[in-house]
Amino acid sequence: MTSNKEDYLKVIYEEGGLEQAVPNKTISEKLDVAPASVSEMLAKLDKQGLISYEAYKGSRLTEAGLAACIDVVRSHELWEVFLMRHLGYSWREAHEDAHLLEHVAPPRMVDRLDAFLNYPKTCPHGSLIPQNGQAPDRLHLMRLSNLSEGETAVIHRVVEDGTLLDYLERSGLQIQKAIQVLSIDDYEGPVSFLQDGNTITISFKAATQIFVECQNIISQEDGQ
Ligand SMILES: [Zn+2]
Ligand SMILES: [Zn+2]
C-alpha cells in the first residue's frame, strides 16, 4: 500500500468514518488535494473494499479499511509522544514529523517504541492510541464552542492541523485538564475560559476544533 492511500484512510478514520460518512470536501481540505483527485482515489478505495462510498454523503471505513490504517495511526501517535517527550518538539512539529516516521517504521520498532514510552493511552493532542489493532471506543465529546458560559468541561482532544496546533499551544491551553467557560462573545466572537487559574482567550473558530467532555452533562446523567 502506498502512503498516499494510507493517508486517505487515516483521514477518514480521524474524521469519524467508522461511525458516519465523511464528506469529500473534508478529505480534500485535510489532505490539501483537489476535489477531482479525491473523487478518483475514493473510487479506487471503494473498489478495493477499503471504504464504502455513497454519492453526496461520503466515505465510511470498512473493516478492511480500518485494518489497513490502524497500524499507521498507532505508529503516528506513538512517534508524536516520543518526539515531544524526548526531543523537545512542539505540538505542530511532532504532528508533522510523525507523519514522516509513521510510514517507514517497521512493526517491531513501533512495538518497542510503545514499550519504551510505557504504553501511552493518548497522543500529545489527545487522540486515543489504538491497541491490538482495534479502534479505541470513541468518547462522546462535544465542541468547546458549543458550551455555554459558566459550564465546566475537560479538554480531551484538539484537531491536528499545523497552524491550529501552533495557535493553541501558544494560547497555553492544556489537554486532559478541566476548564470553566467565562464568556463566549456574540457573533462568534472570542471564547474565554479559565484553566488552572489562568484565563485563556481563543477565537471561536479555534474553539470549534477542540473536543471536550462536558461535566454538567455527566452530573445530569449520574442524577437520573
Ligand atoms: Zn498527528
Ligand atoms: Zn496527535
Each residue's pLDDT tens digit in the chain (224 positions)?
566 899 999 999 999 899 899 999 999 999 999 999 999 999 999 999 999 999 999 999 999 999 999 999 999 999 999 999 999 999 999 999 999 999 899 999 999 999 999 999 999 999 999 998 888 887 889 999 999 999 999 999 999 999 999 999 999 999 999 999 999 999 999 999 999 999 999 999 999 999 999 986 554 444 43
Cα–Cα distances in Å, from 117 out to 80, 114, 185, 187? 11, 5, 41, 44
Kindly compute the dihedral angle of the four CA atoms of residues 82, 110, 73, 65, in this order, to the nearest 10 degrees.
180
Is the sign of the CA dihedral 100, 11, 15, 18 positive or negative?
negative
CA distance 2 to 189: 42
Ligand 1 centroid, distance to 194 Cα (angstroms): 26
105 grid coordinates: 517504521
CB atoms within 10 A of CB 12: 27
Secondary structure of residue 160 in the 3-state scheme: coil
Ligand that lies nearest to the alpha carbon of residue 84, given by its number in the listed order: 2
**pTM for this structure?**
0.88
Closest CA to 91 of 64, 65, 114, 125: 125
Ligand that lies nearest to the alpha carbon of residue 126, given by its number in the listed order: 2
Place of cell 470536501: 25
Cβ atoms of residues 160 and 10 within 8 Å: no
Residues with Cβ within 5 Å of ion ligand 2?
80, 123, 125
